[in-house]
C-alpha cells in the first residue's frame, strides 16, 4: 500500500512534460459537450463557514484529525508517521517529513481549539525543533522524505530522497509554530532551521529547483518547472534572507492553460492536491501576479473536478452532488495517483475524502455536503478515530483501513482556514512569507469572490 511520493511525483512530471508540449490540441479531450452546471457564483468562492451545523461538522473533523497527529507524532523526534491504521495500534515506523509539517501546524490548531493543553503542545514543538536542528540529517538544510519516526534515520529501503517539496511543507509548519507559540527558543530554532536552507543548491547548475537528491546518484531527473504544489517551494526560497532564489525565477515555471466545460484554468497533469497544498499556509486570496489569481484558480479547478466526477455518474452511479472527489490516495489496487481533468490514472469509483476536505476553503458550499454525507451515510466504514479513512469505494463496498498523514493534514488545515483563517493569518505574519509574496509580485487587489 506504500508508494514513494517521489515515484508519484516523477510520474506526474513525465505527464506534465507531455502536457506542456501539447496543451492546445489536448484541452479538447477534457471538455464535456454540454454544461452540467454554471460556474459557481463568485460569492460562493472562499466564503467563511459560519453555519452552526457546518461548524459542528468541522469541529468533529478537526478534533479527530488532530488526534492522529498528537498520537502518531513521536514525542522524542517530533516526526509524524506517514500512515497509520485507523485504530491507532500500528507498529510501523515509517515517518514522513511532509506529514510532519502538517503535524506541527496541527499542534497550533490543537492548542488554539483546546484539543490539548497549550503548554503540552508547545513542549512537543520545542522537543521537535531541537531534534531537527541538532540531530536530523540534512543536505544544505533539506531533509529526507522518508524517515524512521523513532530515530530520524533515512529509510534506505525506500531509496528515500532529500525532498524539496516535503522539506517546504515542514518549513511551513515550523514557521507557523514560530508565530503561534511565544517560547523564545521555538522562535530562535525555527529561524535557524529556515535560514540554514540553501535554496540555490536546488538549482543544480542554474536550472529550476530539483524535485530532490539522493546520495547514490545525485539530483533527481525532474525539476519543478510547471504549475503544481511548487509555489510553496518558490515563495519560501524567494523569501529567504540568507540563500534566496533569484527573483526572476518566479516567472520561469510554466502555467499550462486548460479548459473544461467552458471553465478556463491553469492546470496540471496531477491530482487535485496540486491545487491545495501551497494554499494550506500561503494566503493567496485577493492577490494576483501577471498570470492570474491562484486562489480563484484553485477554486475553479475544484469546480472542474466536481463537474468531471458528475460526468462519470453513468459509470459510477454513486457519484452525485453529495458524493464526489478523488485524488492521489489508497485504493483496492494499492496507492493510486489519479485525478482530473485532465484525466490522470484510471478512476474506479473510489472516493478520497481529502479531495473535498482539502478544498474546503475554496468552495465550502460544494464540499461540506460531501463530507457530511460521507460521515453520515458511510461513517461505519469511512469514519474512524482519526477522522476519514484515506479512501473508500461505495460501489464495491471497500473501505481503507489506513489514514495517510498528508491527506489528513490537508483536510485539517483547510477545515480550519474555512472556519477562521487561523493558519493563513498565523503563517502570513512571518516576514519570510510576506517577502516571498512581494518578490513574486503577487500584488493585492480586490477580488470579486467572497470576503466574509
**Rounded mean pLDDT of 293-316?**
96
C-alpha cell at position 371: 463530507
Mean pLDDT of 193-198: 98
- Residue length of the chain: 452
Q: Which residue has the cell 540534512?
A: 138
User: From CA 8, how far away is CA 222, in angstroms rounded?
Assistant: 12
- CB within 8 A of 21, min separation 6: which ones? none
Q: In which element (H, E) is residue 248 found? A: none
pLDDT at 171 over 50: yes
Whether 19 shows a pLDDT value over 70: the answer reads: no
Residue with the bigger pLDDT between 22 and 257: it is 257
**Is residue 197 pLDDT above 50, yes or no?**
yes
**pLDDT at residue number 27:** 38
Nearest Cα to Cα of residue 277 among 256, 301, 260: 301
The answer on pLDDT for 21 being more than 50 is no
Strand partners, 444: 287
Is the preceding omega at residue 405 within 30 degrees of 0, hence cis?
no
Instruction: Name every residue whose Cβ is closer than 8 Å to that of residue 89 and which is 6 or more positions away in sequence.
Output: none
Longest dimension (CA), the chain: 59
Q: What is the mean pLDDT of residues 292-317?
A: 97
Q: Which domains does the chain have, with CATH numbers?
A: 5-444 (1.50.10.140)
pLDDT of residue 159: 87
Backbone φ and ψ for 403, nearest 5 degrees, come out as -115, 150
What is the pLDDT confidence band of residue 42, given thresholds at 50, 70 and 90?
confident
pLDDT of residue 11: 58
What separation, in Å, do the N-terminal and C-terminal C-alpha atoms of the chain show? 41
How far is it, in rounded angstroms, from Cα 403 to Cα 406?
9
Report the C-alpha gap between 319 and 314 in whole angstroms. 9
For residue 206, name the pLDDT band (cuts at 50, 70, 90): confident
Q: What percent of the chain has pLDDT over 90?
A: 88
Cβ partners under 8 Å of residue 173, min gap 6: 100, 101, 102, 103, 104, 105
The per-residue pLDDT for 6 is 47
Above 60 in pLDDT, residue 329?
A: yes
What single-letter DSSP state applies at residue 209?
P
Torsion of CA 280, 202, 239, 127, to 10 degrees: 60
Q: Indicate whether 23 pLDDT > 80.
A: no
**How much is the CA Rg of the chain, to the nearest whole Å?**
20
- Strand spans (E) along 284-382: 287-288
In this structure, the number of other CB atoms found within 10 A of the CB of residue 76 comes to 13
Residues 6+ apart with CB under 8 A from 52: none
Q: Give yes or no for a contact between 148 and 93, defined as CB atoms under 8 angstroms apart.
A: yes
What grid cell was written down for 50?
459560519
How far is residue 388 from each of residues 63, 352, 358, 399, measured CA to CA in Å?
A: 12, 9, 12, 10
The pLDDT tens digits of the residues spanning 96-132 come to 999 999 999 999 999 999 999 999 999 999 999 999 9
Does residue 231 register a pLDDT over 70? yes
User: In angstroms, how far is CA 372 from the centroid of its own chain?
Assistant: 21
Q: How far apart are CA 249 and CA 221, in angstroms?
A: 19
> Is the pLDDT at 38 greater than 70, yes or no?
no
Mean pLDDT of 74-98: 96
User: Hey, how many other C-beta atoms are within 10 angstroms of the C-beta on 434?
Assistant: 13
> Is pLDDT above 70 for 9?
no
Cα–chain center distance at 44: 22
Q: How confident is the model at residue 387 (pLDDT cuts 50, 70, 90)?
A: very high
Task: List the one residue out of 298, 280, 267, 317 whose CA is nearest residue 414.
Answer: 280
Amino acid at each position: 500500500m506504500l508508494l514513494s511520493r517521489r515515484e508519484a511525483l516523477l510520474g506526474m512530471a513525465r505527464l506534465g512534460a507531455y502536457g506542456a508540449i501539447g496543451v492546445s490540441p489536448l484541452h479538447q479531450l477534457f471538455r464535456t459537450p454540454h454544461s452540467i452546471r454554471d460556474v459557481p457564483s463568485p460569492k460562493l468562492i472562499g466564503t467563511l463557514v459560519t453555519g452552526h451545523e457546518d461548524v459542528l461538522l468541522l469541529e468533529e473533523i478537526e478534533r479527530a484529525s488532530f488526534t492522529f497527529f498528537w498520537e502518531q507524532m513521536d514525542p522524542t523526534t517530533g516526526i509524524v508517521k506517514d500512515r497509520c491504521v485507523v485504530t491507532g495500534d500500528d507498529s510501523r515506523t515509517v515517518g514522513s517529513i511532509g506529514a510532519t509539517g502538517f503535524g506541527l501546524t496541527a499542534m497550533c490548531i490543537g492548542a488554539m481549539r483546546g484539543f490539548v493543553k497549550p503548554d503540552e503542545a508547545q513542549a512537543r514543538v520545542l522537543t521537535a525543533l531541537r531534534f531537527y536542528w541538532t540531530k536530523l540529517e540534512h543536505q544544505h538544510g533539506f531533509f529526507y522524505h522518508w524517515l524512521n519516526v523513532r530515530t530520524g534515520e533515512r529509510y534506505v529501503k525506500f531509496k528515500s530522497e532529500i525532498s524539496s517539496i516535503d522539506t517546504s511543507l515542514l518549513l511551513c509548519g515550523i514557521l507557523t509554530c514560530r508565530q503561534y507559540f511565544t517560547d523564545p527558543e521555538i522562535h530562535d530554532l525555527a529561524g535557524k532551521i529556515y535560514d540554514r536552507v540553501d535554496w540555490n543548491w536546488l538549482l543544480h547548475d542554474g536550472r529550476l529547483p530539483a524535485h530532490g537528491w539522493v546520495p547514490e546518484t545525485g539530483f533527481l531527473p525532474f525539476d519543478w518547472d510547471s504549475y503544481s504544489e511548487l509555489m510553496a517551494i518558490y515563495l519560501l526560497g524567494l523569501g529567504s534572507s540568507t540563500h534566496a532564489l533569484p527573483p526572476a525565477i518566479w516567472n520561469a515555471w510554466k502555467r499550462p492553460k486548460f479548459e473544461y466545460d467552458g471553465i478556463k484554468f491553469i492546470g496540471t497533469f496531477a491530482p487535485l492536491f496540486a491545487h491545495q497544498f501551497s494554499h494550506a499556509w500561503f494566503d493567496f486570496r485577493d492577490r494576483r501576479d501577471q498570470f492570474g489569481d491562484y486562489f480563484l484558480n484553485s477554486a475553479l479547478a475544484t469546480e472542474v473536478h466536481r463537474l468531471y466526477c458528475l460526468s462519470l455518474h453513468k459509470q459510477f452511479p454513486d457519484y452525485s452532488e453529495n458524493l464526489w472527489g478523488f485524488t492521489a490516495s489508497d485504493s483496492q489496487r494499492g496507492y493510486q495517483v489519479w485525478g482530473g481533468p485532465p484525466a490522470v490514472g484510471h478512476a474506479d469509483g473510489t472516493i478520497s475524502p481529502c479531495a473535498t476536505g482539502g478544498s474546503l476553503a475554496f468552495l465550502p458550499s460544494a464540499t461540506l455536503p460531501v463530507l457530511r454525507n460521507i460521515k453520515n451515510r458511510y461513517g461505519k466504514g469511512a469514519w474512524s478515530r482519526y477522522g476519514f479513512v484515506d479512501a473508500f469505494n461505495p460501489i464495491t463496498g471497500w473501505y481503507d483501513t489506513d489514514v495517510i498523514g498528508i491527506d489528513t493534514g490537508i483536510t485539517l488545515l483547510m477545515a480550519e482556514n474555512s472556519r477562521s483563517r487561523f493558519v493563513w493569518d498565523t503563517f502570513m505574519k512571518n516576514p519570510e512569507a510576506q517577502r516571498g509574496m512581494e518578490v513574486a509580485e503577487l500584488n493585492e487587489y480586490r477580488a470579486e469572490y467572497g470576503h466574509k
